[in-house]
Amino acid sequence: MTTEKIVYLTRHGESEYNILKKIGGNSKLTEKGLHYSKVLYEYFQSTDIEVYTSNLNRTCQTAQYFHETKAYPELNEINSGICDSKTYNEIKSSYPEEYKKRSKNKYYYRYPNGESYEDIKNRVAPIMEQILTSKKNNLIICHQAVLRVLYSFFIETSEEKIPYLEIPLHTLFKFTITKEDNEIKNIEHDKYVLM
């Protein structure tokens, strides 16, 4: 028996930290980001969809118009440890050795007191299993590093390329998964810029 399931991925709307070019943190949305939350809701208004977010302000605000959402800490942005809430220039200046280490192997690099992309892959794997076995279509609103990893579950991507996947703000990725007897037979993907 052939079945079809759709999974949508998107980053949160533009946040205050996006403007300041700071990583991590728990900032809120800008006016532009708040507008994206309305546009996103309107796009799905007549669709039966299960919405997943991280626990952070910016994803919860992006999902604010949906009637029911599920927040998971597993979908939180990469833990940048001692570099949290800093710009890359500040990191380069304060922690030059860490900055160099990260540039050599971005996938396996782990921030001091933080995480690597490999850590993200391990923490999101159970959520992905839940999403892929769910009968409903899903919308996942989370963060750039996490979305790069989630994207790689659908479209085979080498580990060294995952940290460089382009996941722009205010863009919706759609994955249509065709299953036959519960085995994935085909995955098609599209990209929509909503703003």
- Residue among 14, 18, 98, 170 flagged as catalytic: 18
Q: Which residue has the tokens 């052939």?
A: 2
| Residue 77 bears catalytic tag | yes
Whether 74 and 53 have beta carbons less than 8 Å apart is answered as no
3-class secondary structure, 28: coil
Angle formed by the axes of helices 144-154 and 117-133, nearest 10°? 60
Q: How far apart are CA 106 and CA 116, in angstroms?
A: 8
**Active site residue: 14, 58, 74, 137, which one?**
58
Of 11, 102, 123, 148, the active-site residue reads 11
> Which one is catalytic: 102, 143, 148, 170?
143
Q: In this structure, what DSSP letter does residue 134 have?
A: -
Q: From CA 191, how far away is CA 174, in angstroms rounded?
A: 6
DSSP conformational letter for 14 = P
Selecting among 14, 77, 98, 115, the annotated active-site residue is 77
Q: Which residues pair with 192 in a beta bridge?
A: 172
Is 18 noted as a catalytic residue in this protein?
A: yes
Kindly list the catalytic residues: 11-12, 18, 58, 77, 143
